Structure 1
């Protein structure tokens, strides 16, 4: 900034004299010298041609960069002093109003962040439906970070929840517990308006669900069995081979019987260890010689858990189980993964991978999150993510990748490694190994899962957004549909939507779950709008918005219940369902419970009975789990169903009274000077119009905060 020095004629010798006003102005095309030389010519004091690049830089093969023009403004000294005084005055006022320096600095940073500074260029986020999706033979996954996300992203904050031991943990918006809390808040706000008194006891009317706001169940609160100084002995080779074969059938590739080849690969379960001695009888100093047995201890922990029924788990809940003892043995043998002085191998990665799978099944998600992180970091240390591995190591890496993306989705947290850092090829068919089609498709589906978590929900975005607002779910929906269209024949479902391959059923259940997850914020917004409209008198009819999205969500939920039944029929030898089956079924059941609240269409008795049977199946599947988590989930579904029916009965009665012209007896409009399309429900003594204003906001809200206000853009075509 230059100051007007008034009549002062003294100037520094280095300051240039003003242009002679009598000098004729020469047109740019007739000038012998350019107005501004490039940086290189300016430093070298040579004549610049003014081109881009200029002739000097072009001849010398140098980068030609011109200085950025800076606009100069002349400000009178008196005005400058006045501005300085105002700034000092405002700073003192701000300090008195907000004494906390950190809060004050936060407000200053927020005020200084302009929309242009927060929002990347619209062109950076443009997405074309013609973009190609990675094919089966693509060498690596796409999705590298291209744009730095905005620092102040308050769209999907998630929240802190408490476990049974009152330990606080963070769960993001993709977590089922977080979504369930949103439903609790919604139902808790509108249930006081219901005119229908519950005929059930407090334990059966659903109110217990509302009291659990901000809490969730996890077995991470309960310590595992104490780790002894020595791991327990392995079974005989004959028994061990039978147990490993059973585990391979249940969680890997069906002992080679599944056409898909399975959607995980933990290792070679058909190779038995050499057991010259037992680790339980070995000296402490020689324990490292038995490190390779950690894999088999982790495998036994998984197969014993899979062979335990819910009744057996309930009876032995107070005593340490054999599966936990084998898990502890695996932890002792594999050692501390944080000790970098030890020579870690791909075998350690496979062991940690099996231990993570066990922890997920035991509903110890935080512990599994840490084990998967350790496994992935060992892979990075060994360079496996860059392709330094054979086909077996490659499949182990991609299984760790799948578990990483799965836990990220379950807990609403960022995943460990970005796709742009991965250069290893996708799994490929190899001699003496199961087909790679299922695992390869699962990897590609997990990549889309990472996109939904990071970009659709803005948990760790790498993709630019238009106007600073989060993206709609349409791109994620398009990616999922393209994934389904490009599946090889062996992974496609039959015309009736089923498969005799359990791994294929589970793969399609995850596909349906991601569709539900991408659309879920819209689904919640539709429930809020429908409730608000039915509880308020309307003078104009409004159509249900985004019906295509909602129909897609409900259809995906019904498909998952159908596939869940198929899995239960195929896995009769398994005493309890997998955690993934329960998770997919739980979210599908929630959608079916809420379907009545968003639909105005009449449902036949046959359709209602079929829906109720689907809901009951989802509740029963949760109860069949071997941990207390299954019982807690089934109770949550029962309570949610009871609350939804209470609310639905009240809204039906409200609608009948409105249609009969009796609404004026139950609704009293607030004091307003302008006409409105709605009337307020009668509130209890001491309440104000805040709930009414909230209902109006629900009706007027076209999109939930998760997405921007764009229209359906054709990605589903």
Structure 2
């Protein structure tokens, strides 16, 4: 019981920088504490475990300022003394009001007195610094240190926006030339960097497996690129000021290239039932050869170029067509032919900052140039071109509707590119959603059907909502309820979009369509679904892997989130199925950049899925779900690697780097997947009411228990992956039977599976573990005092993570 005037250290309850104390918490003895008494502000608002250091482990790994709450003195006084002080205060306020009737003057006097009091006590105030704890750093791969120019961008958590400051913010990543660029939360490069951090942490578990034979792609290249992105985004394209922009190919070559381009990226030369998902302009007419001799003798070179400025559109079209037709079997001559065309177009347009020379007709040219730069993997340059085109369009009022149907379609195509690059780079879009007041495309004479473009615009709007509101890149929806509401809202928007598609855009019963534009549109939809639930999926992977090495009193139930996790992996499978279909449908046609992007992300998801527990309920059949091949994910990943290997034969650095990443990641996951669990039977965390904690199914499948109703209230040894390890060993020797075996277990009800596990004799279970576990000399034990154990415990124990740059209760 506290005595009067007893002093106690407490935290300042500031809602701007800290969350309120959980009223359900109870006093814990110091010797039984698993967490520090006072967490820093950053860990507090994220509800994650703080190590108590200055800076703590979380802030140090995320490059955030580690700020602890200030200390105030809490004094306990008698109730009668408190009441007497209140009466005296009220009397003093009444006297002050009588002596100083003016309210503004009273406030000024009070403020001056408060300032004087604060300044006199400034020397006695201090920041609370918890005792330092000696901890070992997380092991990193030694052969490839992180480059000094690589860094992660983090906001100041002590500001007024601390509650919105994310734990997985965008990053300043450097390319191979050392150019640093900001890539936001939705960027694939940012997600890969988070994945590299995860793999670097578990690096010892992956490389202390001498019984696995070495592979050419052992993952070292992937781990060495932490803090970098393996692309050439910042490198300039072909630059030659001596190119002649008035030189055109033969009329036959121009006609062939324009027809090819119209088939690739517009309306399929009139064969696509949906009318295509882009509209660039008139790709059916061949330009007339220029005749500079018709100009007066005194005409300047610039006057001649201005006269034929419209040829910039065709030169850009030739560049895109040349790039789209480039395959290993059909290389252009010269190899940089597309860049020559692009240089001619840029020469005709002139200075991009000279606003006096730009017209509304140049919007289509700049949009097509942005598309070409995307195909050349110059995304930063494309970001600038598309942004410039959008500003020119707004200068001419295109966003308000002062256009005909052709101009309207060009603007909406530009809008789609703007939203695509915003999602690709994790950056705010050029124009806000509320600023666009242009009607959607509609059918018109002499133009292709507008159904495909209209559906693409609506999907781009959903993409903008996911980037801006779900990931908080540039939020414009400030309603309460955090990221969970935005995730559910985005899922509902995607479901509504899919269910409202016209017949020309719906897939057949086999999950495909003879319209390539329709297939690509559905691949975009699947990619947005992957992007939306990928943070939950990745947290599930980290927690499932951590629980193989850390014994928990509370267990995060993956089944609670299985619909979201399954939706992510199913969308990835559908995209790889559609990619196969498109390559088969197009014959010699290759996948363009958007298709390659979807294939790469899908392969990453399917490889990470191998680290999840295999005991998941059988997914409900979907009306348009593609049939899965008997070889399951292994063929899908091999197909994705083959796509990039084939594309790399054209000299594409992007394809070569993507293939290397996939091969390295496959090698790492193979090692982690077959790594035996090294559980240390200690208690981590305590009882929790967080939704999704352990259920009887998980406990029965994960631990050897003789009780018919396992409980999580007492300490126990948890071995969630012994049976999982047994299955994987069986997979290595019998490649066709495991699929049937896996389906058999999926179709069994959980209760029946529990009874089978409980009725199995204990000696037989031990015999199974000994049969598939490696010898003691090859076992990498994870001990409680190890740095890697502490990191795994952090993954397994955190229940409130900062997903989507906002609090999302998992």
Q: Does structure 1 residue 633 correspond to structure 2 residue 658?
A: yes
How far did 1:242 drift?
2.1
Conservation of the 8 A alpha-carbon contact between 1:287 and 1:333: yes
2:326 aligns with 308
- Could you give the per-residue CA deviations for residues 626-655 of structure 1, whole angstroms, max 9, x where no partner exists? 411011001101111111110010046879
2:195 aligns with 183
1: distance between equivalents of 2:319 and 2:240? Answer: 14
1:204 aligns with 217
SS in 2 for 1:181: helix
1: distance between equivalents of 2:294 and 2:801? Answer: 58
SS in 2 for 1:346: coil
1:558 to 566, 573, 592: 573
2: distance between equivalents of 1:542 and 1:175? Answer: 27
Conservation of the 8 A alpha-carbon contact between 2:234 and 2:380: no
1:234 aligns with 248
How far did 1:80 drift?
8.1
1:411 to 419, 425, 430: 425
1: distance between equivalents of 2:403 and 2:673? Answer: 57
1: distance between equivalents of 2:522 and 2:603? Answer: 16
1: distance between equivalents of 2:425 and 2:248? Answer: 34
Q: Does structure 1 residue 174 correspond to structure 2 residue 186?
A: yes
SS in 2 for 1:160: strand
Q: Does structure 1 residue 569 correspond to structure 2 residue 584?
A: yes
Within a 5 Å distance, the mapping from 1:225-264 to structure 2 comes to 225-229=238-242, 230-231=244-245, 233-264=247-278
1:153 aligns with 165
2:316 to 298, 303, 320: 298
- Could you give the per-residue CA deviations for residues 669-694 of structure 1, whole angstroms, max 9, x where no partner exists? xxxxx985569997689x94443333
2: distance between equivalents of 1:526 and 1:444? Answer: 31
Compared CA separation, residues 111 and 245, structure 1 to 2 (3 A)? closer
1:90 aligns with 122
Compared CA separation, residues 695 and 679, structure 1 to 2 (3 A)? farther
Compared CA separation, residues 287 and 86, structure 1 to 2 (3 A)? closer
2: distance between equivalents of 1:528 and 1:513? Answer: 22
- Could you give the per-residue CA deviations for residues 115-151 of structure 1, whole angstroms, max 9, x where no partner exists? xxx6xxxxxxxxxxxxxxxxxxxxxxxxxxxxxxx89
2: distance between equivalents of 1:525 and 1:496? Answer: 32
- Could you give the per-residue CA deviations for residues 315-362 of structure 1, whole angstroms, max 9, x where no partner exists? 99xx861110100000011222321122x2232111111111110001
Conservation of the 8 A alpha-carbon contact between 2:175 and 2:230: yes
SS in 1 for 2:172: strand
1:34 aligns with none
Q: Does structure 1 residue 610 correspond to structure 2 residue 632?
A: yes
1:650 to 652, 675, 688: 675
- Could you give the per-residue CA deviations for residues 553-593 of structure 1, whole angstroms, max 9, x where no partner exists? 1111111011001111122232x320000001111111111
Conservation of the 8 A alpha-carbon contact between 2:316 and 2:342: yes
1:22 aligns with none
1: distance between equivalents of 2:639 and 2:317? Answer: 30
What is the count of residue pairs matched by the alignment? 590
TM value normalised by structure 1: 0.74
1:326 aligns with 341
2: distance between equivalents of 1:415 and 1:553? Answer: 25
Compared CA separation, residues 394 and 469, structure 1 to 2 (3 A)? closer
2:801 aligns with 704
SS in 1 for 2:801: coil
Compared CA separation, residues 310 and 163, structure 1 to 2 (3 A)? farther
Q: Does structure 1 residue 217 correspond to structure 2 residue 230?
A: yes
1: distance between equivalents of 2:611 and 2:593? Answer: 28
Cα RMSD after superposing both structures: 4.0
1: distance between equivalents of 2:476 and 2:493? Answer: 16
2:475 aligns with 461
Compared CA separation, residues 586 and 469, structure 1 to 2 (3 A)? closer
2: distance between equivalents of 1:392 and 1:74? Answer: 63
How far did 1:699 drift?
2.0
How far did 1:110 drift?
6.6
- Could you give the per-residue CA deviations for residues 31-51 of structure 1, whole angstroms, max 9, x where no partner exists? xxxxxxxxxxxxxxxxxxxxx
> 5+ residue gaps in structure 1?
17-68, 98-108, 119-149, 664-673, 713-717
SS in 2 for 1:216: coil
Conservation of the 8 A alpha-carbon contact between 1:233 and 1:278: no
Conservation of the 8 A alpha-carbon contact between 2:166 and 2:803: no
2: distance between equivalents of 1:82 and 1:327? Answer: 67
1: distance between equivalents of 2:221 and 2:447? Answer: 51
SS in 2 for 1:704: strand
Compared CA separation, residues 305 and 70, structure 1 to 2 (3 A)? same
1: distance between equivalents of 2:604 and 2:239? Answer: 38
TM value normalised by structure 2: 0.66
